[in-house]
Chains A and B, each alone.
Chain A
Amino acid sequence: MNVSRRKKSIIQAVSILSITTLLFGCSNPNEGSDNKKNKDTLTMAWPRDIGEMNPHVYNPSQLFAQSMVYEPLVHYAEGGKLEPFLAKSWDISKDGKTYTFTLRDDVKFSDGSTFDATIVKKNFDAVLKNKALHSWLGFISKIEKTEAVDKQTFRMTLSEAYYPTIQELAVVRPVRFLGEAGFPKNGDTSKGVEQEVGTGPWVLDEYKADQYATFKVNKNYWGPKPKVKKIKVDIIPDAESRVLAFEKGDIDLIFGEGAISVDAYNQLKATKSYKTTMSEPVATRLLIMNTKKKQLADERVRQALQYGFDKKTLVEGITSGLEAPADFILPPNLPYTSKLNVEKRDFDVEKAKTLLDEAGWKLPDGKKVREKDGQPLQVEMMYDAAELVQKAMAETLQSEWANIGVDLKIVGVELPDQVQRFKDNKFDINMYSNFGAPYDPHTFVNIIGTDGFGFKEAISAYPNKDQLLKEMKDVLKTTDETKRQAMYAEILPSLQDQGALVPISYLKKMAIYQSDVTNFKFAANRDESPFAQIGIK
């Protein structure tokens, strides 16, 4: 009797404890949903902490956040057009070495201080203190002299002509402008800034590392004022948790490349409760075939592999329309990349087989893999194991190429490993995507032509390799616009036609947002934030 009573009281105690715990927990049930009722604040999810708000540093600072606070001299607009921004005009000397910028006279920093040639020079000089680190941006290592000619005129002299200078001035880092109050005493911003003072439409308001950051409108902003008063960035590292937070209504907007899985995107889209949109192509997903490898040195084999798979079905099947099948190695919405004359290689199994036969790779009776001189036709493809799209594409290619007698081995590796193996030339076929706007086409041709990036070696079997490498160096120095266009029209198709660089699909950014979010539009620059026009109904 006693035991049973005691048992009951234990059960009661446990029940009370559990209920109390639950009630205690639920005392503030809408803690995470505060934002959804606030029409002035747009809440978005981002996988990583925004990092330091310093215009002159890299990781872990997030590009989109830097672009909210700091602005460039030149704006990269749709179709690769370069428009005046903080510089209202510029003049390039005939020899292509001297750049003279006339600055806007109505720009103020968020603390009210004036934006003029002196501060532009100070920023450039701070960047040049770490020239080596920034030298990946071609024009930086060529800067010889910077001058504040007068209040509104800034002049920059290069050691040699370099046409992409204007285009490179549009990138997010490290050539955007910090106000005087942001500079440390020694002027070296690489170790940190005093205050996050920029000319951009937003200023950092609140920040909690790894949790969230809020940006409010810059009262001194010179351009059109943003429609929402605040942007809140919730840091949610896990893609599935991002989707769940969005479904709950805590998040208004998710955007980016691969921000959520293809399945989750399509599932949310299918509910028709939310709005979805895709950007213009931002880069191309490519296969890089290493022509140093015996099997791939023969152009007929490379072409056969291209004829041997159905690109349209592959891309649409795997990405469910999130990526588009690509015909060109660079998206045609970049400068100098449209209207290129390249040979299209559509799916044609018979043609693929004929080409392989011609190349001497015959299919022995009763075997499934072609052979030449007793050696089987085996190639290896490496992909980033963490990227599901790459994995699925590699697997599909494996089965497609098996049909034409090619044994494809696929190897999933970690991204840093993939980059390293590519550079060390330890690969047969690599999956790669180029830089996109605002870096290409010049960054692309530059790294193809430079030692130690994997490309130069990959195209080493091209008969016109030397000519191509020379042209890739020369095009960057060309001051004549027409000549430059003609050179790109020769370089890019030649790189593609000889089959070592195979376009697969155009990468796009995705965005999914709640139905009360209006005017969402992707920036043409791959790295910039899309908050300029956005509003909430």
Chain B
Amino acid sequence: MGVYILKRVGSIIPILLLAILLLTAMIHLSPVDPAEAYLSAAHIQPTEEVLAQKRAEFGLDQSFLTQYVTTVARLARFDFGTSYVSGKPVLDEVLLRLPATLQLAMTSLFLAIIVSIPLGFLAGIRKNGFFDHLSRVIAFIGASIPSFWLGYLLIFFFAVQLDLLPVGGIGSPSHVILPAITLALPLIALYTRLLRTSVIETMREPYVQFARTRGIRETVILGKHVLRVAIPPMITGLGMNLGKLLTGTIIVETVFSWPGFGRYFIEAIFDRDMPIIQGYVFLAALLFIGSSLLVDLLQLAIDPRIARKGGNRR
């Protein structure tokens, strides 16, 4: 098992190195010179002298290899560099905005869990019943409406028409409701259907049928046998979507004026603020890899046979 974990953790390094390689290549492949983009965003007509000065300041005058090695060395020390635009360390900019993003993402995750578990379970035990239909409608809406559009609809009804909630911003608990619902709906759609399928499959298992013939109460069967077995696949789904959830905040934060890092990332793209873009993509990659690793380890804890299987495969 220890070897399996070591191998799994070790595989992160080449993935991250590849991610950094792609990031460095991004600067070289982009037709736009970040130094020029910086100056034109500041309404400065760039002269060759200033451009050269800025390129040197940003380290853009170095070769591709030097830039790559420097970036790897920097990121290995968790030094994300300095933002071209604000001149402040990228890490400071991230840490200033990350709590807001985490608050939104965690609220959405919580909302997704408390809605999708009961709904998916009820939809599963009563196939084609009311909750099954409801879950289907939610899944349809959640999968088909783009987040920004859903966001506008929610703002229009709940903030403008009914005057119940704020249009955007951060501060009180009421501010988080609409963005959290917007972000959670696609997850609710996904998890509800996932749990529903899992419940239906488990109900067909011989041991459930056997429990029934033994005359065990239905509630006990559903609670002890079905739900306990049906939930683990959902945990895998949750873990896999953790990274997606954080990156999904980009649009929701913009629509709801939520001062998180996703929104800041959009501005960085327009400004071609490469250190910010690199920092964000690097952290997102780390998060995706980290959450997938976490899921694997969780599954390993539940079913140690995985390590053996994994070992055999290798």
Contacts and interface: CB of A to CB of B under 8 A. Distances in A.
B183 to A, nearest CB: 15
B170 A244 contact: no
A132 B160 contact: no
B200 interface: no
B10 interface: no
Given A10-B118, A248-B163, A416 B169 contact: no
A25 interface: yes
Interface in B140-185: 152, 155-156, 159-160, 163-177
A398 B86 CA distance: 41
Main secondary structure, interface of A, reads: helix
A133 interface: yes
Interface in B114-130: 114, 118-119, 122
Contacts of A2: 217-219
Nearest to A451: B48
B44 A136 contact: yes
Interface string B18-51: 0000000000000111001110111111111110
A61 to B, nearest CB: 9
B257 A238 contact: yes
Interface residues of A, number: 63
A414 B32 contact: yes
A25 B171 CA distance: 12
Interface in A223-264: 234-238, 240-241, 244-245, 247-248, 250
B272 interface: yes
Q: Which of B87, B96, B119, B256 has the most CB of A within 10 A?
A: B87
A248 B53 contact: no
Contact of A447 (B45, B49, B164): B45
Contacts of B263: 210, 237
B237 interface: no
Contact of B167 (A135, A136, A244, A415): A244
A467 interface: no
A395 B301 CA distance: 60
A186 interface: no
Contact of A132 (B53, B176, B256): B53
B43 A58 contact: yes
A10 B122 contact: yes
A210 B272 contact: no
A363 to B, nearest CB: 36
Q: Which of A2, A33, A420 has the most CB of B within 10 A?
A: A420
A3 B121 CA distance: 14
Contacts of A3: 218-219
A407 B111 CA distance: 54
B111 to A, nearest CB: 8
Contact of A241 (B47, B49, B155): B155
A419 interface: yes
Contacts of A32: 159, 166-169, 175
A417 interface: yes
Given A2-B217, A10-B122, A25-B174, A58 B44 contact: yes
A60 B87 CA distance: 10
A453 interface: yes
Contacts of A63: 43
A482 interface: no
A211 interface: yes
Contacts of A453: 45
Interface string A72-90: 0000000000000000000
A367 interface: no
B98 to A, nearest CB: 12
Contacts of A419: 32, 36, 40
A534 interface: no
B172 A135 contact: no
Given A29-B163, A135-B49, A420 B36 contact: yes
A453 to B, nearest CB: 7
A416 B272 contact: yes
Interface string A201-221: 000000011111000000000
Contact of B173 (A13, A25, A208): A25
Nearest to B117: A14
A77 B206 CA distance: 86
Nearest to B111: A21
A498 interface: no
Interface string A174-209: 000000000000000001100000000000000011
Given A3-B218, A234-B169, A211 B259 contact: yes
A477 interface: no
Given A244-B155, A244-B159, A420-B31, A28 B172 contact: yes
Interface string A43-87: 000001001100000111001000000000000000000000000
B132 interface: no
B174 A26 contact: yes
Interface string B250-272: 00001111010001101100111
Contacts of B72: none
Contacts of B43: 58, 63, 435
B165 A25 contact: yes
B287 interface: no
B156 to A, nearest CB: 6
Nearest to B40: A419
B97 interface: yes
A210 B253 CA distance: 11
Given A14-B118, A60-B86, A238-B254, A135 B271 contact: no
A443 interface: yes
B306 interface: no
Nearest to B33: A420
A154 B159 CA distance: 55
Nearest to A413: B31
A52 B87 CA distance: 11
A387 to B, nearest CB: 13
Contact of B174 (A29, A59, A237, A415): A29
B295 interface: no
Nearest to B168: A241
14 contacts: A13-B118, A25-B174, A28-B173, A60-B271, A136-B44, A136-B50, A208-B259, A210-B264, A235-B257, A236-B168, A237-B254, A241-B168, A244-B159, A415-B40
What are the 9 A-B residue pairs with the smallest beta carbon separation, nearest first?
A32-B166, A58-B42, A210-B259, A25-B177, A416-B32, A59-B42, A245-B167, A416-B37, A136-B45
Given A30-B163, A132-B50, A240-B152, 5 more contacts: A3-B219, A25-B176, A234-B169, A244-B167, A416-B36
